[in-house]
Amino acid sequence: MSNIRIIPLGGVRENGKNLYVVESGEDIFVLDCGLIYPEDELFGIDAVIPDFTYLEENKDRIAGVFLTHGHEDAIGALPYFLDTFQVPVFGSELTIALAKLFVEKSSFNPSFEDFHVIDEHTEIDFNGTTVKFFRTTHTIPDSMGIAVHTPEGNIVYTGNFKFDQSAQDMYHTDLSQLADLGKEGVLAVLSDSGEAESQVENVSEKKVQEEVLDIFQETSSRIIVAAVASNILRIQQVLNAAHRSGRKVFITGKNLEDILTIAMELDKLTLPDDDLIVPVDTINKYDDDEILILETGSAGEPIKTLNRMATQNHDQVNIKDGDLVFIATSPSTAMEVMVAETENLIYRAGASVVKLSSNVKASGHATPNDLQLLINLLKPTYFIPIQGEYRMLAAHAGLANETGIPYPNIFILSNGDVVSYSKGKMTQSGQVPADNTLIDGIGIGDIGNIVLRDRRLLSEDGIFVAVVTIDRKKQKIVSDPHIVTRGFVFVKESQDLINESTDIVRNIVKKNLKHNDFDWGSIKQDIREGLNTHLFRKTKRRPIILPVIMEVNQNRRFKK
């Protein structure tokens, strides 16, 4: 009997950062390698990726990385992964092209070339375990689900998916493939939970196209569309509607230009008119009713760019009175506050905001009926809801139970939880490291909780620096303590507080200078504690306190 384990290293109890490990025998199969963009409280952090510790400990067992689609929640962490692991990467034509783009633009192993293009007919054998692929419907062409065929049955990973029977060919799900997998026997399904608690079912994307066109045709002002660059389906709809409403499209952002170029080269996106897209620096040559500005922002979040446009801080296009802003994306939970603030700024700039109407559900994730249809097609013995916050996973578990899967066979996991299949039964059996790895610039994982705490304190209460110069030989202060603050108080209006703080530092230093066992660490700690108590008593705030002690006439014999 084969040893089978399933381990989510990212993607459960959160939206994004998908990375799932399936082990069959001695082989490890890595399914997706995504990132998530940080919440506001992760000060200065660019992105969050999965913890690769477990994979590093078992790197010789990794058969490869298998990608479902080209969104950043599935491929965004790949450059960081490939900086450590030299393993083959498999995905559909567009997915691999976008993965290459991400890797080439990074500073982490940009010359990596071990990419392999697959399609829904591809089967790859690894020591008796076969990896197969099936087509799915998502908001990007060429999305795939993955089936790892083990001696005990298929383990199916859906990736992000939904069903749309009227979808064009490159977005179409092959239901017969799913039914065939079910007939072969499915041991476990890892299924997308993003819309499991939705009370409204998705509509056909044809209906979405009609609504987008109606919005454009009813508007005589400039239109600014906020979309995610890799949501190629939505961008195609915007381009189609712009053409039919007689507008030229002005693109802001190099990231979008690169993605559109790749998609068009692979015939995954088409221009209704070769002259539809024009340079943004020619925008003043056109009337407002001829203009559509397509912005996708940076780091996957177009809302941040809208914010800059609304405050007149964008380097190419700013929002002006009368503009219509069409938000064609569903922002992440972490961005909800910023979305509300940005909408206020847009209205203050004299523009208005429109979204798809409430009766048009246009998510890229399966809603309850689709989720249950998938389960009925695959007929799994065990079920693992993934890709969603806890309430979504719980809702999905309930849907699975309604289709006949008993609750003991349903696993709501945390990142790092291990599910093992042994002796004819699947059980939860331990945990592996699965902390968040924080990306700050080119640093990977070098930002920890202490640094984040300091950044939070700096943002809330500022910094308070006390500088003092001493002569250790003469046991005296050479120059009076000097106080510097940033983000704490305005010095000119808080002179009493500064003078009191200066006295505290002076007294602490004098006291310590009298001791022969003078210790730099101790005196700095005494200053921190003394100032912290005083400043909190006076202001109810706790700035970061940084004592700086300089010495003249240094004597190297005492302890530093």
DSSP per position, 265-294? HTTSS--SSTTSEE-GGGGGGS-GGGEEEE
Residue 406 lies in a domain: yes
Residue 558 lies in a domain: no
Residue 284 lies in a domain: yes
For 347, counting Cβ atoms within 10 Å of its Cβ (0-12 exposed, 13-18 middle, 19+ buried), the class is middle
Residue 379 lies in a domain: yes
Say yes or no: 178 and 291 in one domain. no
In the block, residue with structure tokens 């309604």: 402
Say yes or no: 248 and 331 in one domain. yes
Say yes or no: 325 and 396 in one domain. no
User: What CATH number should be reported for the domain holding residue 302?
Assistant: 3.40.50.10710
Say yes or no: 255 and 107 in one domain. no
| Among 336, 354, 372, residue at a domain's last position | 354
User: What CATH number should be reported for the domain holding residue 493?
Assistant: 3.10.20.580
| Among 424, 444, 464, residue at a domain's last position | 444
**Three-class SS of residue 542?**
coil
pLDDT at 558: 43
CA distance 52 to 49: 9
- Nearest Cα neighbor of 488 from 467, 462, 470, 507 is 462
CA distance 431 to 163: 34
Say yes or no: 12 and 150 in one domain. yes
Say yes or no: 379 and 474 in one domain. no
pLDDT at 446: 45
Say yes or no: 435 and 545 in one domain. no
Residue 560 lies in a domain: no
Number of other CB atoms surrounding residue 321 within 10 Å: 8
pLDDT at 550: 82
Say yes or no: 319 and 384 in one domain. no
Would you say how long the chain is, in residues?
Answer: 560
Say yes or no: 377 and 465 in one domain. no
Residue 326 lies in a domain: yes
Domain total of the chain: 3
**Three-class SS of residue 167?**
coil
CA distance 89 to 87: 7
Are 137 and 143 in contact, with CB atoms under 8 Å apart? yes
Q: Which phi and psi (to 5°) does residue 107 adopt? A: -100, 10
Say yes or no: 113 and 214 in one domain. no
Residue 51 lies in a domain: yes
Instruction: Supply the angle between the helices 254-265 and 232-244 in degrees, to the nearest 10.
Output: 90
What are the residue ranges of helices labelled H in 218-253?
232-244
One pLDDT digit (tens) per residue for the chain, 560 residues: 568 999 999 999 998 899 999 999 999 999 999 998 876 555 556 778 999 999 999 999 999 999 999 999 999 999 999 999 999 999 999 999 999 998 988 877 778 899 999 999 999 999 989 999 999 999 899 999 999 999 999 999 999 999 988 777 788 898 999 999 999 999 999 999 999 998 878 888 888 888 899 999 999 999 999 988 888 999 999 999 999 999 999 998 778 888 999 999 999 999 999 999 999 999 999 999 999 999 986 545 688 888 889 999 888 899 999 999 998 877 655 567 778 888 999 999 999 999 876 666 678 889 999 999 999 999 999 999 999 999 999 999 999 999 999 999 999 999 999 999 998 999 999 999 998 887 765 545 444 555 555 566 666 678 888 888 888 777 788 888 888 888 777 666 688 888 888 889 888 888 887 776 667 778 888 888 998 898 888 888 888 888 888 877 655 444 44
User: What CATH number should be reported for the domain holding residue 374?
Assistant: 3.60.15.10
CA distance 271 to 249: 11
User: What range does the domain containing 164 cover?
Assistant: 4-200+363-444
| Among 329, 354, 379, residue at a domain's last position | 354
Are 413 and 385 in contact, with CB atoms under 8 Å apart? no
Tokens representing 457? 């304190």
pLDDT at 406: 97
Tokens representing 310? 């609304």
SS (H, E, C) 89-137: EEECHHHHHHHHHHHHHCCCCCCCCCEEECCCCCEEEECCEEEEEEECE
Residue 559 lies in a domain: no
Number of other CB atoms surrounding residue 239 within 10 Å: 23
CA distance 65 to 46: 24
Say yes or no: 109 and 17 in one domain. yes
Say yes or no: 159 and 110 in one domain. yes
